[in-house]
Amino acid sequence: MKRTGRSAVFLLVWDAAMRMKKRILKILVVVFVIWYLFFGRIELLTALHSHEFEGEYKQTHMIGGHPKPKVMQYSSDTAKVYYVDKNGGDVLWFKKKDDQWIMTDWDTVWSSSGSADGFIWPFIFDPLIYNSFIYKDF
């Protein structure tokens, strides 16, 4: 009989552990899907509009090399683009005037020389914390 009592307790504990495991798994799946959607938004904007910003980093007259643009936010008249290469990462804000993208602000997020202390990765933090259309005045 003692064996049966212990077995019953073990089964109850095992059942509770399995239910908890399923809850944790569901939470992880939801977090992963939300994370993926944020990255997907950035990648979609980049695929659709990066060609518009290929050489626009030259407006700074300081960014060298051939940085790749990541379009983080885009509307018909404003955009936020993250340029990254092996030497650094810069966020440039643009406003469209007469069908031309004009840089309105610039922030060096990180640099191989250690001259910047910003934070940009992961992109999920951008719309949650550092939303340029609220934070920056065009």
Q: Which of 20, 81, 16 is nearest to 45 (CA)?
A: 81
Domain boundaries, the chain: 1-138
CB-based contact 52:101 (threshold 8 Å): yes
Query: pLDDT, tens digit, for every residue of 16-35?
Result: 889 999 999 999 999 988 88
pLDDT of residue 123: 52
Assign 126 a pLDDT band (cuts: 50, 70, 90): very low
Look up tokens 């993926």; give the residue. Answer: 36
How far apart (Å, rounded) are the C-alpha atoms in residues 137 and 81?
15
